[in-house]
Structure 1
């Protein structure tokens, strides 16, 4: 990782310093962030360092710290390491990244003020405000032109970043296998969730996002987080959407399983094929929105083939009935954030490139380019409120309601892989990770 990181930070500094010059910035202050106190309480929410901060250093839970970047030389890391007997203080800075920084360790937050640039118009600050930075009045705070350019560039991942996401996929794939075994052993959602955490050796707040561990009809709730402790009377299906993190970079994987053989298991197999077909269409120069539209035709084919609605594939797409069964976007950029920024930008200025009106929940509309990392996650669900609209709608008589009713207890299906776009084709980090187990 040492050489990969060295190349990463060298290129990052070069690009960000060019952006600084373009915006008349001589010193850039990047804040890691400040813990947020629970309202009218004496405890903080779990802390995660700002993604601006994590772009440079793999310090995911380091508050009250700063990176200072000038136009030349090593960047400075102001590293907060308090003397603390109430909590575990941060360990001494160590690892492959340290040689690339001038590191100043401080014991009190106020000591940072003496190590930061003076407040002037040639200083820019990235990140949330803090007590130390509150008095900066002349500095530019989160200048839009700089941030938009950084967001745009974030879509292009370095080899170091791709390696981190690859390792995050490997960790998550192993944990997914543990979760599937727990499902087949008849465990509850909570037991499956805890086994997933244990297999990674982490606490819940260290996940990249809250696990979706859904048995049966709960799989129809797209962001299901209830995690029930009781095992259902009859176990039918299991949808798990869960990832892992490495050096602040994330994976985001979804799999769906049937407890027994049958038509729902056949639909899962068909959806797995749809996922691979969608990935097969991803290539440099393609529009991600076109992949999403193509996915709707594939979902229409399944709706027709499994006899859920008596309509042609063309009619299912034209009437938008596919959105009843597949209401979300096909995928998104992923990296330091699960839903990485800049997905709906037209260019480096931040000009908007919104999704089409027909697909408002599509998170990425970018033209696909080399070294971008995406999720691809087609879904097929039996969602009560969406089905209820169709029951009262123009095409109600075309729906095979008895067939749909028999599938409702299974919830839904989502298959999600993380892929890297290469000039030579697509690298599927998720499938590779599962294959290596």
Structure 2
């Protein structure tokens, strides 16, 4: 074990020396490296081949400027990124994020997480991620279109149906994917498989919009059933109010649970009677409004400008679906006081390392996003398959495949944890199960 610890420490030192300011990437990488120690002890050949040394370094990174014109005629410049992280098991696959916080560290952490997430789906897709520090909030449709066209003019040089297939993420929904695909088609001809999350009229898949939120609940349901528990009657806190949060709300309600909170970047709402799905959809999907509008339409709801995780109310399950590092140690400790038994992440890395430690100290069962929010990329891969076959599957067919994939991810993560005598450590189980497939492929392909 001393050889393993020395190897992991050397890798951490390498990351610190190369990327000292990339906080989010270091957080994601260090968490995975620590969890993989038992695998390296069992497979010393991975140390000899330095598989993890290769894995933590992206295969390539593109950074570029994005010039676009605002409605008032002023010229704007944003920064664009695409990280093609690992293609050992298939073409790069991962979303594009548009948010002012986007930088190289954010994109690298997301791409690194994507390697394991994509591996867990069982589908032949590698890890990648991209985006820009452009903020679509408050921009007109024409401004968003001009930005997306400029962004894709550069990005299209580096992607392809069998090379790298981007999708949506924070700030990139159906509108943005449409503008991006339109520009790609203008420059390269019609290739529906180049992007996923497309509209249904030009190669999109039914159930893609719902996939991450629905998948989160399918994973959660499998977890609860394995613990002789059930979703019916459970009170759930959800953060966020985008696609993941909205469709997690919808499917959780279908299972008989009651979702009592949602949020956006301005604040959060609490409705003890359960959040009204139709009102949320009207505000967020139709009006593109703020979450505070909800309390004007639902008498039982209250609004707070605090974090949803600071609300001191009793509930059973936490589903963070907003953004990275949204839950700190103090908020995780409050969950224990509030009676929380399960945390399953709908966002990517929403819990700080200190929060995760607090969950485990309190015996709260914790599931990392790379396992529980893999439904989006799973259906994206199914969309790629439909595009390749020039077919369109029914909603029920896609949803059933999604449910099977998420239940299989739970089984894989649980089995990996038990195989290494880690009990109900689903974080380590997900990291190990995702890594083993990629590591075997990298080992068999030689020094690449």
User: Computing the radius of gyration over CA atoms, which structure comes out larger, 1 or 2?
Assistant: 1
Global fold match (TM > 0.5): no
Question: Under a length normalisation based on structure 2, what TM-score does the superposition of the two structures give?
Answer: 0.24
